[in-house]
Amino acid sequence: MKGYNILIKESIMDNLNNLVPYSRGIAAINLELNTDILTVWPKSILPMVDGELHDVIEEYTTEYTDSYGNKISTGVRTSNTIVAKWLCRDPNMMVPPNVRRGAEVQIYREANTDYFYWETVSNSKNYQKLETRIMGYSNTQNENEKPTPENTWTQGISTHEKKVNVLHTTKSDGEKWAYDVNVDVKQGLVNIMDDIGNLIKIDSGNGIIRLQTAQGAYIEINKRDITISCDNLTSNVSQVTQVNTTQMQNNATANIDTVTPIQTHTGNLTVAGGISAGPGGNGSGFEMRGDIKHIGNMTTEGDHIIDGKSFNGHRHSETQSITSPPIGG
């Protein structure tokens, strides 16, 4: 978990035969993060301790004169606590329980040495407050390789940091990609990502949900706005696509192609630019209904039919003759 040192343990399971129960103990201090060393009072060995429990070392100094008349000062340091290292019996646990001052533990001693170990007991009290738990799972087949952050998959929860590491994977066993799924509750962030740049992100504080590829394409929902950025966008809809909006704007630097048997437009149509129309599949050409107002010159090729009468070849009632085509100016 980011900001928290994973304790890669040297296994002491092989040395359990050298450990003997020493005493029930009481934690003298809150166990600090990033350490598995705890200061404890061995209450079975020092049962007469009275008053408030502290990890205080008391010093006593004595002065005396030796047979030569020299003044000698000697000091003695005493304490009713000892320091012990966490005894981990679960090989997947990467960090110790967050023991708090006053919690009961079991103390073990390694043979006749001054090395002590501790573990929690089932009736331990007052140590489940803010907690950090990290579990690790080996991802190597090498019999001679020790656990490291590079060959271990991890999961973790820290109410200290308000973070959840749902999953962290490595590529130590030939995997092509590695993945991280993280929740930062304090910042309101959820991230799902791989090691090549693909990302799914939830930003609760800013109201943003973002889906992004390693190549830079993304879909972002920002509160009530949606932005899509990509090279090509394809929509396959089997029935109806309906857009209800106040205003729609299409910006195409090349062209817009519409392929459909029938296209219906209801309402006014304003065109800033030219219009080119050709015969349809049945050769019907271009048909408009309603009044047309044209401002500016018009150039046509071919005849105009007005109420069934040819502009180029109609008859006049006075002469009953066909009008000659206009003469160019």
pLDDT digits (tens, 9 = 90+) for 259-278: 888 888 888 888 887 777 66
- At 309, the pLDDT band (50, 70, 90 cuts) reads confident
- What mean pLDDT value characterizes the chain? 82
Residues 48-96: tens digit of each pLDDT: 555 555 555 556 566 767 677 777 766 555 567 889 999 988 889 888 9
Considering the domain architecture, whether residues 114 and 203 belong to the same structural domain is answered as no
Per-residue pLDDT, 113: 87
CA distance 38 to 91: 20
301 falls in which pLDDT band (50, 70, 90)? confident
39 lies in some domain: yes
Structural domain total, the chain? 2
156/59 same-domain check: no
Final residue in a domain of this structure, among 229, 246, 262: 229
Element containing residue 200 per DSSP (H, E)? strand 199-203
Nearest to 150 by CA among 163, 132, 133, 168: 168
**Residue 249 counted as domain residue:** no
Q: Looking at the domain assignment, is residue 23 inside a domain?
A: yes
- Non-local CB neighbours of 85 within 8 Å, separated by 6+ positions: 36, 37, 115, 116, 117, 118
Poorest-confidence range of 199-213, 255-269, 282-296? 282-296
Q: Are residues 39 and 117 in the same domain?
A: yes
Note whether residue 289 is domain-resident: no
Mean pLDDT of 153-169: 95
Q: Which pLDDT does position 8 carry in this prediction?
A: 47
Are 135 and 105 members of one domain?
no
State pLDDT tens for residues 218-240.
999 999 999 999 999 999 999 99
134 shares a domain with 123: no
Same domain assignment for residues 161 and 215: yes
Of 52-56, 157-161, 179-183, where does mean pLDDT reach its minimum? 52-56
Q: Is residue 294 part of a domain?
A: no
On whether both 165 and 121 belong to a single domain, the answer is no
Give one DSSP letter per residue of 53-72, joined into a string.
Answer: ---PPEEEEEEEE-TTS-EE
Whether 328 is in a domain gets the answer no
Backbone angles phi, psi at 326, to 5 degrees: -60, 150
Q: Report if residue 188 sits inside a domain.
A: yes
Mean pLDDT of 18-23: 88
Q: For residues 44 and 121, state if they share a domain.
A: yes
Examine the fold and report which residue of 63, 98, 127 is the final residue of a domain before the chain moves on: 127
Residues 114 and 135 in one domain: no
Q: Which of 93, 92, 3, 81 is nearest to 38 (CA)?
A: 81
The answer on 104 and 72 residing in a single domain is yes
Q: What is the mean pLDDT of residues 101-110?
A: 90
Domain with 85, as residue range(s), is 12-127
Instruction: Say if 208 falls within a structural domain.
Output: yes
pLDDT at 3: 43
Q: What is the mean pLDDT of residues 296-300?
A: 79
Is residue 120 located within the same domain as residue 153? no
Overall pTM surpassing 0.75 (yes/no): no
In this structure, what are the phi and psi dihedrals at residue 15, rounded to the nearest 5 degrees? -100, 10
Q: Tell me: the pLDDT tens digits for 182-208?
A: 999 999 999 999 999 999 999 999 999
Tokens 């392929």 appear where? Answer: 259
Q: Are residues 23 and 104 in the same domain?
A: yes
Confidence check: pLDDT of 104 > 50 = yes
Q: Which two tokens stand for residue 194?
A: 């791989």
Q: Which of 179, 208, 229 is the last residue of a domain?
A: 229
